[in-house]
Structure 1
Amino acid sequence: MHPYLNFEDQLNQLKNRGIIVNDKAFALNALQNISYYSLYNGYKDLFLASKSPEKFKNGTTFEMLYTAHWLDLSMSNILFKYSLVVEKQLKTIVSHIVARNFSVDENRYLNSKNYSTTKAQSGKFSDVQKAINKAKFKNSVCKYYMETENNLPPWIAIQGISFGSAINWYSILKEPHKLEVINSFLNLILKDGAFLKSEDKQHFFKICLGQVYEFRNLSAHGNRTFKLQLPEKQKQVSRYLSAAKIDVYYPNNNGVISSRDTLFSVIMSMLILINDDYVANSLISEIKNLFETYSDSLIFVDSNIYDLFEFRKDSLDLLISFFDYKFS
């Protein structure tokens, strides 16, 4: 059982573990606002020379721990914001297709006959129904529509449900309607001879959307963006990237694309899905500004910001080149 330690004791414990404290007042204030656990347990592995016993690299300072936390939070906040753009885009397109093809009347557009009847999708249909019913009481806009019109048109209903439920709503669409959604997302990258069969489009879109959603869940629960490693579930993604003619925008080793489950791949998935050039350019600019702010120094003993996020030096150039290709 860990004993209670006041902030002075916590700071002394850090010193005893070999961490240099240059500014005591700054460190105490940080511990009161961020917490010992978040700073030490969250980032110590970035500074250890050995894990057993724990030994920090010479020159490791409290300020480095603090900067690691701030960089991590900054990157997470940037990407979280743009995951909201992907979510809104999905909700807009799905609700548009539902309204146009089924009805604006809730009882009609939520008729199970409109959707896939496979056993795998039955639970997702139930989730969408439950999420919309819950939104009627929890979401202020949905409550207003129910009170004034006694109906939720799909573009209102979908605003009151979660990203996950919106993905489920997309997933239960029948194939022609599902492909409408996919094409509206991918039409700007499938050009210059690029071709994906309908089945491959669905798999590729699922991977990109899944990465954004997975990152969003990890970020919301406080997981680090440093050395991000999403669960690797898809093995054929390189084939899809090649067929779409965008594999050249991914870091590769001797022609083989590096892991598709890193922070860089999450950013690329966002850029693939975001079809507003102003927003996509803003995403790249915010990431570029963050890197440029810290790019000139070894801020963590023997590592720079590229090392921490496992970004190659040409990664930003690849993002910019992909933007130019997509929106040319």
Structure 2
Amino acid sequence: MAKPFQTHNQQLKMLRKRNILITNGSKAKAILIRENYYQLINGYKHIFLDTVESKKRQDDYYKNGTTFEQIYALYEFDRNLRNILMKYILMTENSIKSKIAYQFSSEHPKEAFSYFNINNYRDTNHQQTTSLIATLSSVTKQNTDSNTKSGPFYHYFNEHKELPLWVLITKLTLGQTCSLLYNLKESTQIEILKAVLYEFKNNSNNIAASKIIHQNYLKDFISAINCIKAFRNVCAHEDRLYDYYAKNKNGKPIQTSFFYIGISTPAFQGGIFDIILLLRLFLTKRDYKQLLHRLLDELNKLEHELPSSLFSEVTRKMKLPKNWTSELNKFI
């Protein structure tokens, strides 16, 4: 049966019937006019629901004392959290792209369009590599228009008869960049990881990596980037973030480790706490401190908006330990 259309006033009446306190109807209505009801209420209702009473009534029923403002506060917190993380994920994305392009290009300095040569990739999965090359070709075509002599790549084709990877990679999505990284030869991947660890060592007081890159380091490094990609997708699509746990395209939890940290490392759980520690590998000390400061500000605001029990539930779902600030500050 199709869901009947409801006006904003009808929506507010239904929320009151479900035990949500709305002290300022005009303000609540203005929020519903501006925001999507489904995203706001259905997206963030879960910690506010009285599950026993909801089951008994076979309809959503909220805990006593739940207010419309509390649900909206969590909604705004999550939006701000997405915006904060997205900024530092984009920084990380640029850092990863830069190192991939530099290392691959340094290994093929005189070969034009070296990224179209299947022999420059690992030979374990030719079908996967062929698909990658087709993707790179498609991105090249999309950004070049030979008829109008325009597009960001046209200058390189016209003037240099070449398109360096460090130019092409700027137009790749993080998913496409990950595909490129997965298909590189292991020796190339190791050099990229070395470059990342070298930069981290110069931006941190703690470093576990030695001159030898163990096989599990490389595996966890690639999984870490896959985890960052998963969080980027959540931020980009404006999905609920605070209780998100990193999953691969098959819906299975992504497993990695904080192999680059030189002191006792927490177990990877795939939540917000973990993504912040993964971003630490790629961020400068200053940017990492700024990230922590902005996160703390948002949590402090939310703490004043929610009852302590609900705020604790939010931080639990974020996988934040009780001493999360001191834990994350260890890695500055």
* TM-score, structure 2 as length reference: 0.83
**Cα distance, 1:183 vs. partner?**
1.1
Larger CA deviation: 72-81 vs 214-223: 214-223
Q: 2:197–2:260: 8 Å Cα contact kept in structure 1? A: no
Percent of residue pairs identical? 21
State the AA in 2 paired with 1:33.
R
Q: Post-superposition shift, 1:248? A: 2.5
Deviations 1:262-316 (A, max 9, x none): 1111111111232x22222221221122223333x36147312534534222112
Matched, 1:219 2:268: no
Structure 1 pair 201–137 and aligned structure 2 pair: CA distance change class (3 A): farther
Q: In structure 1, how many angstroms separate the alpha carbons of the residues matched to 2:154 and 2:36? A: 39
Matches of 2:209 and 2:113, distance apart in 1:
43
Q: For residue 289 of structure 1, what is the aligned residue in structure 2?
A: 297
Give the secondary structure class of the aligned counterpart of 1:92: helix
CA contact (8 A) 1:75 1:225 kept: yes
| TM-fit CA distance, 1:29 | 0.8
1:43–1:69 Cα contact (<8 Å) kept: yes
* Counterpart code for 2:186: E
Residue 153 of structure 1 pairs with residue 169 of structure 2: no
How has the CA–CA distance of structure 1 residues 43 and 211 changed in structure 2, closer, same or farther, with 3 Å as cutoff?
A: same
Check whether the contact 2:228–2:275 (CA below 8 A) recurs between aligned residues.
yes
Q: Which residue identity is paired with 1:299?
A: L
Give the residue type in structure 2 aligned to 1:268: L
Choose from 134, 140, 144 the match for 1:136. 144
Partners in 1 of 2:280 and 2:34 — Cα distance?
A: 34
Query: Are the aligned partners of 2:245 and 2:253 in contact in 1 as well (CA < 8 Å)?
Result: no
**How far, CA to CA, are the matches of 1:233 and 1:151 in structure 2?**
41
Q: How big is the shift at 1:24?
A: 1.2
Change (3 A) 1:279 1:63: same
Which amino acid is the alignment partner of residue 230 of structure 2? E
Q: Which runs of 5+ in 1 are unaligned?
A: 251-256, 324-328
Name the amino acid aligned to 1:172.
N
State the Cα deviation string for residues 58-104 of structure 1 (Å, max 9, x = none). Answer: 11111111111100111111111111111101111111122222137
For these two proteins, the number of residue pairs brought into alignment is 310
SS in 2 for 1:222: coil
Partner of 1:179: 190
Aligned to 2:279: 270
- Find the aligned partners of 2:72 and 2:305 in 1 and give their Cα distance: 15
Structure 2 residue identity aligned to 1:218:
V
Superposed, which structure 2 residues align to 1:33-44 within 5 Å? 33-44=34-45
Residue number among 90, 99, 105 corresponding to 2:96 in the alignment: 90
| Residue of structure 1 in register with 2:21 after alignment | 20
Do the aligned partners of 1:249 and 1:321 also contact (CA within 8 Å) in 2? no
**Kept in 2: contact 1:145–1:152 (CA 8 A):** yes
Give the gaps of 5 or more residues in structure 2.
none
CA distance in 2: counterparts of 1:76 and 1:140, whole angstroms: 31
Match of 2:76? Answer: 70
- Going from structure 1 to structure 2, the CA distance change for 1:200 and 1:46 (only over 3 Å counts) comes to same
Question: Paired residue for 1:165?
Answer: 176
* Residue in structure 2 matched with residue 254 of structure 1 by the alignment: none
Q: Secondary structure at the match of 1:57?
A: coil
Give SS of 2:50's match: strand
Instruction: Map 1:246-261; keep pairs closer than 5 Å.
Output: 246=262, 248-250=264-266, 257=267, 260-261=269-270
Residue 57 of structure 1 deviates from its aligned partner by 0.6
- Distance 1:23-1:283 versus aligned 2 partners, 3 A rule: same
